[in-house]
Amino acid sequence: MTNMTFGECLRSLLSILDISMNRLSKAINVDNSLINRWIHEKRIPAYNTAYIENIAEYLSRSFHNSTQIKSLDALLYKVCDNNPSTVSIKDKIKIILSECQGYSIECRKKENKKNSNLSTNQELSHNSLYCTDIILEKVLSLSSDDKIFFGNISALSSCIQLLKSATSSKNSGNNTIYITYYGYLKVQSSDEARLMAEMKTQLLIASEKNIEICFLLKLDSNIDRIISFIKFISPVFMTKKLKIYYYIRYDIIDSEREMCIVPGLGALSCFPCSENSYEKSGFLLRNSHAVNIFHEYIKTHIKSSSRPLIEYYPDDKQTEYYSSLFKSQEYMGNSFLCRTAQHPLMMTPALYKNILERKNLSPKDISFSMETFEIRLNEFKKGMCYCEYYDVCSVKTITDLIRYRKFPALINGIIEIVSLSKDEVLEIMENIIDIINSFKNYKLSLVRNIDFLMQDNCYIFINEKCALHCEMYFISDTAHKTKMFINEPIFVSAAEKYFMEKYEQIAPINKDRHEIIKFMKKQMKLLDDM
């Protein structure tokens, strides 16, 4: 018999098909709250109802590819320990749901029986003992290290204390820090600002010590709230140690409570103590049993009610990453690029072909690479005919090109840093000037410092209402350190707004076409004189 509950089973089926609870509820004509109760084990469909038949009928029509079918077969094997090949997709779904329904109902019966016996025992104890003598077998006392704190200053100080214990501990038993973001990061005093800065520092130290930082977010229509989070997390955004999850539902109830959990070391839980109260109070717990309860609670929420915000691409998935990037660039909308790295599309097709030939590639590989490059270049130029393309670039990116004569080129699906001759660098510089003069929608800005990137040789590309891509590499190497992709609509919109806030803060002279061209020509002259 299976040990998978009905809620787990239904959640797995919806995940295979990427179908939301709301969508399912509309399809089978039931209230969304009922689906939610099924998923979270609050309710179980009774025997002899039409729910399973209706669910199976709808879901069976949603299978469109072999990957989905393979996932269904794997689930069937997990539940039933066999996989009858002659059974239809609809019948497979009915078998899976029915088996898990039966398991959940039997578990519920056992639980009810246990609770009934417990109630009887408690009643007997009450009749035979005075209330102060009742034995509470499942109750543990907290330790002297457990604290209650009052107010935001104490809350932030407690959180920093917990983070410091994580970074200073040699062996905590777990290399993950869990932090929620349900509310709003408001700073209303200089002391709070100082403590928030210290909290950022501790998170950066944690990432440098190979500790994973896991955020659980509530996303909503308040874009400013998400921007506050982006500003807060920027120091560790370009590290591989950051994991962000967001609730599948946008209307979570527990929206005012915040937690910071370091498994094995401590758990912080804070919340407002009065209606519309900005000030938060709460508990800092060191008791190992209490910490374990919070750890299991946050893991359950992440597993059952959220999905990853960021998709990371390791080195062996570079082709997939650039495929997603190219697809985003095909979407017609304003583009936002913020970079301390070279723009691969700033070289000419002739120069790119020359570089490919120097790599001793086969004619077939050269032809394919050239075709891909020209498609990207055409999409880039076509987009600028109709939409605005904001390119915020560090001055150092231009001066480093002159000084080191190195440039990133896509070679067989992998970015390589290639060495260029003086004439080839001049060709790129002239091409950039030509793009500035030819496309009025291309808005290049040259700035001394891009404070929110935090890293050299990286860029963030946002395509309006579509996706956000981040990439970072070393100029001396071919290997990429970080590549990531985000397509959650609310977060992408917040990133767009944040970018434009930063763009408006750039001095007009650093956005002036004539001044930028003058600077570029001066750098070209310096290169010529070397």
Q: Is 175 helix (H, G, I), strand (E, B) or coil?
A: coil
The residue written with tokens 């025997």 in the block is 47
Question: What is the pLDDT, as a whole number, of residue 516?
Answer: 96
pLDDT at 390: 95
At 276 the pLDDT is 52
Residue 419 confidence (pLDDT) above 70: yes
- pLDDT, residue 109, reads 83
Contact 398, 446 (CB under 8 A): yes
Asked if 380 and 330 count as a contact pair (C-beta separation under 8 A), the reply is no
Residue 85, pLDDT score: 66
Pair 266, 162: CB distance under 8 Å:
yes
**Residue 527's Cα: distance from chain center in Å?**
42
Q: What is the pLDDT of residue 255?
A: 55
H/E stretch holding 497 reads helix 489-504
pLDDT at 133: 42
CB 238 within 8 A of CB 455: yes
Q: What is the pLDDT of residue 136?
A: 44
Residue-wise DSSP of 350-372: HHHHHHHHHTT--HHHHHHHHHH
Residues 54-90 pLDDT 10s: 899 999 998 988 888 888 888 888 888 776 667 889 8
Instruction: Report the CATH fold assignment for 315-529.
Output: Endonuclease; Chain A (3.30.870)
Average pLDDT over residues 352-381: 90
Model confidence at 509: pLDDT above 70: yes
The CATH topology of domain 147-309 is Endonuclease; Chain A (3.30.870)
Whether 302 shows a pLDDT value over 50: the answer reads: yes
Q: Is the pLDDT of residue 522 over 90?
A: yes
Ordered alpha helix ranges (H), 169-281: 190-208, 223-233
Give residue 127's pLDDT. Answer: 45
* Residue in the block written with tokens 């979570």: 252
Pairing, β 406-411 against β 414-419: antiparallel
Look-up: residue for tokens 């779904």?
93
How is the chain split into domains, by residue range?
6-110, 147-309, 315-529
Question: In the chain, what percentage of residues exceed pLDDT 90?
Answer: 29
Please, are residues 461 and 336 in contact by the beta-carbon 8 Å criterion?
Answer: yes
More confident site: 312 or 403: 403
| Counts of helices then strands in the chain (DSSP H, E) | 17, 17
Q: Using 50, 70 and 90 to split pLDDT, how confident is the model at 1?
A: low
Q: Between residues 270 and 113, which one has the greater pLDDT?
A: 270
pLDDT digits (tens, 9 = 90+) for 93-103: 988 898 888 88
- pLDDT value of residue 429: 96
Looking at the predicted structure, is the pLDDT value of residue 267 above 70? yes
Q: What is the pLDDT of residue 405?
A: 93
In sequence order, which residues have a C-beta less than 8 Å from that of residue 82 and are 6 or more positions away? 76
Residue type, position 254, single letter: D
Bigger pLDDT: 436 vs 333: 436
User: What distance in Å separates the CA atoms of residue 149 and residue 136, rounded to the nearest whole number?
Assistant: 27
Label residue 423 exposed, middle or buried (CB < 10 Å: 0-12, 13-18, 19+).
exposed
Query: pLDDT (tens digit, 9 = 90+) per residue, 236-256?
Result: 776 778 899 998 876 655 556
Q: List pLDDT tens digits, range 127-164.
A: 444 444 444 455 667 777 888 888 888 889 999 999 99
- pLDDT reading at 270 higher than 50: yes
SS3 of residue 6 by DSSP: helix
Q: What is the pLDDT of residue 235?
A: 74
pLDDT digits (tens, 9 = 90+) for 16-56: 898 988 899 888 888 888 898 899 888 888 887 888 998 99
The answer for 296, left when phi > 0, alpha when psi is -120 to 50, beta otherwise, is alpha
Pairing of strands 212-217, 176-181: parallel
* Mean pLDDT taken over the chain: 83
Q: By mean pLDDT, which of 123-127, 178-182, 238-242, 505-509 is the weakest?
A: 123-127
What pLDDT, in 10s, does the model give residues 427-484? 999 999 999 999 999 999 999 887 655 456 677 889 888 888 887 765 444 444 667 8
What average pLDDT does this structure show over 496-505?
A: 90
How sure is the predictor about 318, in pLDDT bands with cuts at 50, 70 and 90? low
Question: What six digits make up the tokens of 118?
Answer: 């417990």
Which pLDDT value is given to residue 420? 94
Q: How far apart are CA 119 and CA 104, in angstroms?
A: 22
Domains 147-309 and 315-529 share a fold: yes
Of the candidate ranges 81-90, 362-371, 381-390, the one whose mean pLDDT is the lowest: 81-90
